[in-house]
């Protein structure tokens, strides 16, 4: 069973359990209009691309109002069945290597506090999501969201996540100074002004990049 099939099965089981607990939930959305797979895809598509519900409805061949109902219902279901580990998972000393990185999701220009969401790197308004994952299993252990203007390293410092001191933490060049907060960490070696980067430094950065490829 693939990951997509597994998630579809879990969502279907969750819906059936809700119907057994509350028969009134048998009313409302009819699966015959949109398949379960498309309902899950619709919710995930909206989260990833942030289109208007009119555009999303056209993509899936349904009305705008019905599209909003599908999204609202299945986002709640996905949030219930796809639970992230607790913060305590990060202090598990069995996880030898962790990877931290930030992903930016473009959003429509906010009505208020626009500057706080404007990302200088992306040149548009965004929401940032800091992700920490296990390098061995690929399992996501933590997600922390922030406004687009906030620097990646600032997101890490303000999150104050409890990471086991024996766990090696790999990060990109945006996390310079990470060793002050987690001694067992690795970041790329920055090029000094007016000094050519040595072959050893280039080799180290290349090796670190390959180890961090999990989150790219």
> How wide is the angle at C-alpha 132 spanned by C-alphas 130 and 135, nearest 5°?
145
Q: Note the pLDDT tens digit of each residue in 91-120.
A: 876 778 999 999 888 888 888 889 999 998
Domain-by-domain residue ranges, the chain? 3-81, 87-192+202-215
Q: Note the pLDDT tens digit of each residue in 144-177.
A: 999 999 999 999 999 998 898 989 999 998 999 9
Q: What is the pLDDT of residue 203?
A: 92
b/e map 175-211, b = 16+ CB within 10 Å: beebeeebeebbbbbeeeeeeeeeeeeeeebeebeee
CATH number of 87-192+202-215: 3.30.420
Q: Note the pLDDT tens digit of each residue in 5-31.
A: 556 677 777 767 766 666 655 554 454
Q: What are phi and psi of 15, to 5 degrees?
A: -65, -45
């Amino acid at each position: 069973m693939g990951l997509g099939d597994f998630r579809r099965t879990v969502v279907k089981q969750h819906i059936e359990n809700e119907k057994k607990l509350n028969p009134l939930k048998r009313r409302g959305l009819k699966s015959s209009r949109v398949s379960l797979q498309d309902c899950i895809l619709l919710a995930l598509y909206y989260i990833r691309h942030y289109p208007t519900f009119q555009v999303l409805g056209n993509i899936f061949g349904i009305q705008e109002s019905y599209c909003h109902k599908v999204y609202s219902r299945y986002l709640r279901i996905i949030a219930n069945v796809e639970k992230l580990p607790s913060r305590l998972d990060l202090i598990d000393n069995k996880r030898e290597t962790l990877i931290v990185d930030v992903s930016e999701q473009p959003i429509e220009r906010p009505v208020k506090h626009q500057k706080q969401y404007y990302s200088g790197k992306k040149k548009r308004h965004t929401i940032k999501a800091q992700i920490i994952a296990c390098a061995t299993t690929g399992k996501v252990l933590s997600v922390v969201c922030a406004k687009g203007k906030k620097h990646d390293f600032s997101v890490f410092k303000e999150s104050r996540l409890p990471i086991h001191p024996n766990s090696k933490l790999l990060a990109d060049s945006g996390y310079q100074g990470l060793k002050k907060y987690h001694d067992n960490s690795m970041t790329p070696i920055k090029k000094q002004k007016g000094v050519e980067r040595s072959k050893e430094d280039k080799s180290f950065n290349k090796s670190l990049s390959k180890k961090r490829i999990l989150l790219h």
